[in-house]
Amino acid sequence: MDCNGSVQFDIRDAKTQFSRLLELVAQGEPVVIAKNGKPIAEVIPYQRKGIELGAGIGDSLIDKAALKADTWWKAMTEKEAEDFIEGR
């Protein structure tokens, strides 16, 4: 165990006991991998992250009026594209 209560493996032990290490992680136990006693990595249980629908709509930088106008998706004109590329 390390000072945070996690199980700690030195690199050599992690390599030879990899299946055991993964069993601990699968049970929800974070595992720290160390090199010469110094922690260098933490293996934690995988957590699938959901997709937040409408992400960004609450962002204060988004022009909500433009979204409602239904013109935001239209292609740029040649002039708008040139201005964009030139940074104008």
Among 64, 12, 59, smallest CA distance to 33 is for: 12
Question: Is the pLDDT at 73 greater than 80, yes or no?
Answer: no
CATH class of 7-43: alpha beta
Using DSSP's 3-state secondary structure scheme, residue 30 falls into coil
pLDDT digits (tens, 9 = 90+) for 3-34: 566 899 999 999 999 999 999 999 999 999 99
pTM of the complete model beyond 0.85: no
